[in-house]
Chains A and B, each alone.
Chain A
Amino acid sequence: MDLSAINPVLLVASLMVAATPLLLAAIGELVVEKAGVLNLGVEGMMITGAICGFAISVETGSPWLGFIAAAIGGAILSLLFVLMTQVALANQVASGLALTLFGLGLSALMGQSYVGIKPPAMGRLDLPVLSDLPVVGPILFSHDPILYLGILLTGAVWWVLKYSRAGLILRAVGENHDAAHALGYKVIRIRVLAILFGGACAGLGGAYISLIRVPQWTEGMTAGVGWIALALVVFASWKPWRALLGAYLFGGVTVVQLNLQAAGVAIPVEYLAMSPYLITILVLVILSADKSGAPAALGRSFHASH
Chain B
Amino acid sequence: MIVLEKRPQPSRTWSMATPLVAVLATMICGGLLFAVLGKNPVEAIGTIFWEPLFGEYAFYYRPQLLVKGAPLVLIAIGLSLGFRAGIWNIGAEGQYIMGAIVGAGVGLAFYPMEAFYIFPLMVLAGAFGGWVWAMIPAFLKVRFGTNEILVSLMLVYVAEQFLASMSLGLLKNPEGFGFPGSRNLQSYASAHNAELIEGSGMHWGVVAAFVAVIFAYVLLNRHMTGFHIRLTGEAPRAARFAGVKPARLILFCLGMSGALAGLAGLFEVSGPSGQISIDFNVGYGFTAIIVAFLGRLHPVGILLAGGLMALTYIGGEIAQGSLGLPAAAIQVFQGMLLFFLLALDLLTNYRIRAARKEVA
A179-227 interface (Cβ within 8 A of B) = 219, 223-224, 227
Interface check B58, CB cutoff 8 A: no
| Residues in B neighbouring A94, C-beta threshold 8 A | 293, 338, 342
> Judging by beta carbons under 8 Å apart, are A270 and B334 in contact?
no
B residues neighboring A (CB under 8 Å): 4, 6, 88, 90, 140, 144-147, 149-151, 153-155, 157-158, 161-162, 164-165, 168-169, 286, 289-290, 293, 326-336, 338-339, 342-346, 349-350
Closest to B33 in A: A109
Contact of A284 among B147, B161, B327, B335 (CB under 8 A): B147
A-B contacts, CB under 8 A, total? 135
> Judging by beta carbons under 8 Å apart, are A277 and B157 in contact?
yes
Interface residue count for A (Cβ, 8 Å)? 46
Which candidate, A7-15, A84-92, A165-173, is the interface stretch facing chain B?
A84-92
User: What is the bound-complex CA distance between A228 and B293, given in angstroms?
Assistant: 25
User: What is the bound-complex CA distance between A108 and B283, given in angstroms?
Assistant: 14
> Judging by beta carbons under 8 Å apart, are B290 and A101 in contact?
yes
User: What is the bound-complex CA distance between A84 and B22, given in angstroms?
Assistant: 14
A79-108 interface (Cβ within 8 A of B) = 80, 83-84, 88-91, 93-95, 97-98, 101-106, 108
Interface check A70, CB cutoff 8 A: no
Closest to B327 in A: A108
The B contact surface, by secondary structure, is: helix
> Judging by beta carbons under 8 Å apart, are A105 and B332 in contact?
yes
Interface check A60, CB cutoff 8 A: no
| Residues in B neighbouring A101, C-beta threshold 8 A | 286, 289-290, 331, 334-335, 338
| Residues in B neighbouring A303, C-beta threshold 8 A | 4, 6
New A-B contacts (17) at CB < 8 Å, excluding given A84-B343, A94-B293, A274-B157 = A84-B339, A97-B338, A98-B342, A101-B334, A102-B339, A105-B331, A108-B326, A108-B331, A224-B153, A228-B154, A231-B150, A234-B147, A270-B162, A274-B162, A284-B151, A288-B145, A305-B6
> Judging by beta carbons under 8 Å apart, are B151 and A281 in contact?
yes
User: What is the bound-complex CA distance between A228 and B153, given in angstroms?
Assistant: 10
Contact of A291 among B145, B161, B331 (CB under 8 A): B145
> Judging by beta carbons under 8 Å apart, are A278 and B343 in contact?
no
User: What is the bound-complex CA distance between A40 and B338, given in angstroms?
Assistant: 15
Whether A274 touches B150, Cβ cut-off 8 Å, given contacts A97-B289, A98-B338, A105-B331, is: no
Interface check A268, CB cutoff 8 A: yes
Distance (Å) between the CB of B173 and the closest chain A CB?
18
| Residues in A neighbouring B343, C-beta threshold 8 A | 83-84, 88, 90
Whether A93 touches B334, Cβ cut-off 8 Å, given contacts A270-B162, A288-B144, A289-B144, is: no
| Residues in B neighbouring A90, C-beta threshold 8 A | 342-343, 345-346
- 5 inter-chain pairs at a CB distance below 8 angstroms, sorted by A residue, are A101-B290, A102-B338, A102-B339, A227-B154, A281-B150
Whether A98 touches B335, Cβ cut-off 8 Å, given contacts A109-B328, A280-B150, is: yes
Distance (Å) between the CB of B91 and the closest chain A CB?
10
Distance (Å) between the CB of A300 and the closest chain B CB?
12
Interface check A273, CB cutoff 8 A: yes
Interface check A230, CB cutoff 8 A: yes
Distance (Å) between the CB of A179 and the closest chain B CB?
20
Closest to B331 in A: A105
| Residues in B neighbouring A268, C-beta threshold 8 A | 165, 169
> Judging by beta carbons under 8 Å apart, are B345 and A288 in contact?
no
Closest to A103 in B: B335
| Residues in B neighbouring A163, C-beta threshold 8 A | none
Which residue, A105, A273, A289, A303, has most C-beta atoms of chain B within 10 A? A105
| Residues in A neighbouring B339, C-beta threshold 8 A | 80, 84, 95, 98, 102
Whether A288 touches B147, Cβ cut-off 8 Å, given contacts A108-B328, A109-B329, A227-B154, is: yes
> Judging by beta carbons under 8 Å apart, are A271 and B165 in contact?
yes
Closest to B289 in A: A97
| Residues in B neighbouring A105, C-beta threshold 8 A | 328-335
Whether A284 touches B6, Cβ cut-off 8 Å, given contacts A80-B339, A101-B338, A289-B145, is: no
